[in-house]
Structure 1
Amino acid sequence: MSDQLPAASADHLARPDPDRLKPLTSTHKPRILILYGSLREVSYSRLLAGECRRLLEHFGCEVEIFDPAGLPLPDAAPTDHPRVAELRRLTQWSEGQVWISPERHGAMTGIMKAQIDWIPLSVGAVRPTQGKTLAVMEVSGGSQSFNAVNQLRILGRWMRMVTIPNQSSVPKAFQQFDDDGRMKPSAYYDRVVDVCEELVKFTWLIRDASPYLTERYSERVESAAELEKRVTLTSI
């Protein structure tokens, strides 16, 4: 192997082992966090978040929705700010997430991005989002668009999440909800059901295997180097 992969460290180049993916032992309800990107009094992303919550609870999940009201702009407050601390606590608690943003000026809203920017890639040795499942959705006031969900997918990848293949884009959202704030029957509602169902299935599949799926060669090499450094310093 050393002749074929001379740049690799043989001590840390592990062959993928399918047996480590087989035990699915968790029996608790999948824990799902929903983020939405609007502070409007009549917020269609918040209404869609409510529909997702009902569906996910019907599918056997424990669900929390984070209200972005009062969340400061990124870096405008310390990380122990109550709203920031709550967002980070829910992120660590969750096993999967749903991100729902309005599309504004052809992009996700700043409110949506601010929430994601407050979630760090790592806190010490803990990576709050790595290996968690993610579903992305958007609402828009005009014709159907996928700009926001495409951007959310990029962010999900950057946050090292497992973003499911399906997604939802709800055009002319003001026409899709009744006076009670419930989404009307339509092909758009059917897609929301599809996405929630798929998220639950992926979360079942991944949550027990996540530590193994997200274990990486580069981190094994880095951890070994850090350990060797500490042993050397201790022996001096």
Structure 2
Amino acid sequence: MPLTHPPRILFLYGSLRERSFSRLAAEEAARHLTAMGAEVRLFNPSGLPLPHSTDERHPKVAELRSLVEWSEGMVWSSPEIHGNLSGLMKMQIDWIPLNNGAVRPTQGKTLAVMQVSGGSQSFNAVNSLRVLGRWMRMFTIPNQSSVAKAYEQFEADGRMKDSGYRDRIIDVMEELYKFTLLVREQKDHLTDRYSERKAQDPQAGYAILHGSGAVAPATA
């Protein structure tokens, strides 16, 4: 079946360092996704204010929320700092609302998680990112990337050296691409919830699956 449009993937990264390895890993992943045919955008978090220090009309907040609504899938790439994701990474996610009027900006979208570490390989940041992805009602893919001793893994020009870490990033991007296409046509069905239908129509009672069946209330 021909694609109606290429998968739209948004990247968030969690460091503002001049040579940010979480950004370099995101850029490496983005190049491979682009080669696969995806449409890719990276959000630059520089200038993003602290959550609740201003409102959603701030230009950087508005830019982030617009990109989230544009996307069908996301990649979150964080450094591991003090054993967890960076504050900047969490700050970006905190600016993304669960609800924006009738729109749920992240619900039903795919997510891939990545982390870079300065020392030995760890999975603390990606594990926390998975928790956040679940909270944001996203479909987080099974595969993930964790790059140890990231300072050894990139060339001077920012490209990633050929290694098992690079191979894993390509694997993760391939999986994200495939899952995004699989979920695309089924998103509304997969995210349909009884509680939300009931909130819109209290008379829905115990009807499930768009009226295809009913569950009677339990009796004593």
TM-score relative to the length of structure 2:
0.91
Aligned mates of 2:156, 2:40 — CA distance in 1? 24
Query: 5+ residue gaps in structure 1?
Result: 1-23, 228-236
Seen in structure 2, the aligned counterparts of structure 1 residues 160 and 25 have a Cα distance that, compared at 3 Å, is farther
Aligned mates of 1:173, 1:132 — CA distance in 2? 28
State the Cα RMSD in Å. Answer: 1.3
| Among 81, 94, 100, the residue aligned to 1:117 | 94
| Among 109, 118, 124, the residue aligned to 1:141 | 118
Structure 2 equivalent of residue 45 of structure 1: 22
Seen in structure 2, the aligned counterparts of structure 1 residues 216 and 142 have a Cα distance that, compared at 3 Å, is same
Structure 2 equivalent of residue 204 of structure 1: 181
8 Å Cα contact 1:25-1:208 kept in structure 2 = no
Aligned mates of 1:90, 1:176 — CA distance in 2? 29
Aligned mates of 1:87, 1:162 — CA distance in 2? 20
Seen in structure 2, the aligned counterparts of structure 1 residues 47 and 143 have a Cα distance that, compared at 3 Å, is same
Aligned mates of 1:82, 1:212 — CA distance in 2? 34
| Among 114, 127, 135, the residue aligned to 2:104 | 127
How far has the Cα of 1:207 moved from its partner? 1.1
- Give the AA of the match of 1:35: L
Identity of aligned residues (%): 65
Structure 2 equivalent of residue 64 of structure 1: 41
Structure 1 equivalent of residue 11 of structure 2: 34
Aligned mates of 1:147, 1:216 — CA distance in 2? 31
8 Å Cα contact 1:101-1:108 kept in structure 2 = yes
Aligned mates of 2:34, 2:77 — CA distance in 1? 17
Q: Indicate the structure (1 or 2) with the bigger Cα radius of gyration.
A: 1
| Among 84, 101, 120, the residue aligned to 2:78 | 101
- Give the AA of the match of 1:138: Q
Q: What are the superposed Cα offsets for residues 58-85 of structure 1, whole Å, 9 maximum, x if unpaired? A: 1110000000000001001111100000
Seen in structure 2, the aligned counterparts of structure 1 residues 219 and 166 have a Cα distance that, compared at 3 Å, is same
* Deviant stretches of 4+, over 3 Å: none
Seen in structure 2, the aligned counterparts of structure 1 residues 217 and 26 have a Cα distance that, compared at 3 Å, is farther
Q: What are the superposed Cα offsets for residues 138-181 of structure 1, whole Å, 9 maximum, x if unpaired? A: 00100000000000000000000000000000000000001111
- Give the AA of the match of 1:124: G
Structure 2 equivalent of residue 187 of structure 1: 164
- Give the AA of the match of 1:208: E
Seen in structure 2, the aligned counterparts of structure 1 residues 226 and 76 have a Cα distance that, compared at 3 Å, is farther
Aligned mates of 1:34, 1:127 — CA distance in 2? 19
Query: 5+ residue gaps in structure 2?
Result: 205-220
How far has the Cα of 1:49 moved from its partner? 1.0
8 Å Cα contact 1:26-1:208 kept in structure 2 = no
